[in-house]
Amino acid sequence: QPLQEYLQQQIDSETYDFIANKALLKLYSFYPEQSSDHHIALALTKALMALPSTDMALLMYLVPETVQSKEPVATLVRCAEHLETAKFVEFWEVANLGGNELLDNVPGFDEAIRSYMIGVLSITYQKLESETFADLLALDEGDLEEYVSANQSDKLAIDGKNVVFTPNSENQQRPKKFKENISFDQMLPLIDFLASS
């Protein structure tokens, strides 16, 4: 099928077309006899790489429960849950890169996921210990400085034993805003009562 070939082309060229992948999964729901678990898994992998978009969740509605419970889709579902709940160390354990036949054959998978993780961490922290950061991104601490300078120098920097995230609207302290809901006119009877007693 042309859509299956196009999906493979997306894998090879590191591009992404959600509309085409959604159309492929819709066709599979209309013609289950032509369904391919491998291509479903590839479409879901590309959607996972597009986080923080909701593409993965949307495509899951088109995947039959029987396929969701089988490998490799079941692993992708667990991976998505760990990423969406910021359980990054657990994600790397489940993804098992280097031993996962599906994910190891998708170029750019680990970089797309690390980019998503950095985005989540940058809206949560101003700085993080280098060792913790390396663990969360499944990097060797020795490779961390090279990784940051080569890939992410616009989002973070290394400062001693810490990774410092570029300030953004989410990771900065906000002034506390409060509003008095009681006017002086409303308080006047209470003040008069207290003064008279």
pLDDT of res. 153: 66
Mean pLDDT, 10 residues at a time, the chain of 197 residues: 90 94 94 92 94 94 93 93 94 86 89 91 88 89 81 77 80 73 82 85
Radius of gyration (C-alpha) of the chain in whole angstroms: 24
pTM beyond cutoff 0.75? yes
Total H helices, total E strands in the chain: 12, 3
Nearest to 44 by CA among 118, 71, 30: 71
Contacts of 14 (CB under 8 A, 6+ apart): 107, 108
Query: Cα angle at 146 between 46 and 84, to 5 degrees?
Result: 35
SS in 3 state form for 93-143? HHHCCCCCHHHHCCCCHHHHHHHHHHHHHHHHCCEEEHHHHHHHCCCCHHH
pLDDT of res. 152: 64
